[in-house]
């Protein structure tokens, strides 16, 4: 059965074009802040290229992004993502944000000592249509580990 006509597809594309890159990124970050990983990924293209520099992830894909978002949402049940600044420069959207929460599980190798995390971050998104096609995340892992009471970079899991 034919579900879509050419006209339907054209209308669908036209609808997608009405969503600005900043709105797409806001939808992603709002869902992330709600710890709703599936909703966040619903605006991410399957072929997304992901660099999460502090974790060492380079040229990852949607599976790695899903794993990172899930680990964050799991480790911080009271996760709070505050977007401080959202800059749209054409198809690139850059968000300055603060990530806060109380650790409740192992996170990026750091054992759970129920410490409070607050780390300022910058995420750079590339958006095509209504889909995120690239994500680059920047923050200082030294700041993150300091707040989680990690003492040495070569002994992340030791107290």
Q: Could you list the residues that contact other proteins (CB under 8 A)?
A: 51, 53-54, 85, 87-90, 92, 94, 96, 120-122, 124, 136, 138-143, 145-146, 150-154
Enumerate the H helices of 18-140 as residue ranges. 21-33, 37-41, 62-75
Q: How far is the CB of 66 from other proteins (least distance, A)?
A: 22
39 vs 122, which CB is nearer to other proteins?
A: 122
Q: Specify the DSSP element, H or E, that contains 46.
A: strand 44-52
Closest CA to 153 of 144, 101, 46, 88: 144
- Shortest CB 28 distance to other proteins, Å: 17
> How many whole angstroms separate alpha carbon 36 and alpha carbon 40?
6
Smallest gap from Cβ 44 to other proteins, in A, equals 20
């Amino acid at each position: 059965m034919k579900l879509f006509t050419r006209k339907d597809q054209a209308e669908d594309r036209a609808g997608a074009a009405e969503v600005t890159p900043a709105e797409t990124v806001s939808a992603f970050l709002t869902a992330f802040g709600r710890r709703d990983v599936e909703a966040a990924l619903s605006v991410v293209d399957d072929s997304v290229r992901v660099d999460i520099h502090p974790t060492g992830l380079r040229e990852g894909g949607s599976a790695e992004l899903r794993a990172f978002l899930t680990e964050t949402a799991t480790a911080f049940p009271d996760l709070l993502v505050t977007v401080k600044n959202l800059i749209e420069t054409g198809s690139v959207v850059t968000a300055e944000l603060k990530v806060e929460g109380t650790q409740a599980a192992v996170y990026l190798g750091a054992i759970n000592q129920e410490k409070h995390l607050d780390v300022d971050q910058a995420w750079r998104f590339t958006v095509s249509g209504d889909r995120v096609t690239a994500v680059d995340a920047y923050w200082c892992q030294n700041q993150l580990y300091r707040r989680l009471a990690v003492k040495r970079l070569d002994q992340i899991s030791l107290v």
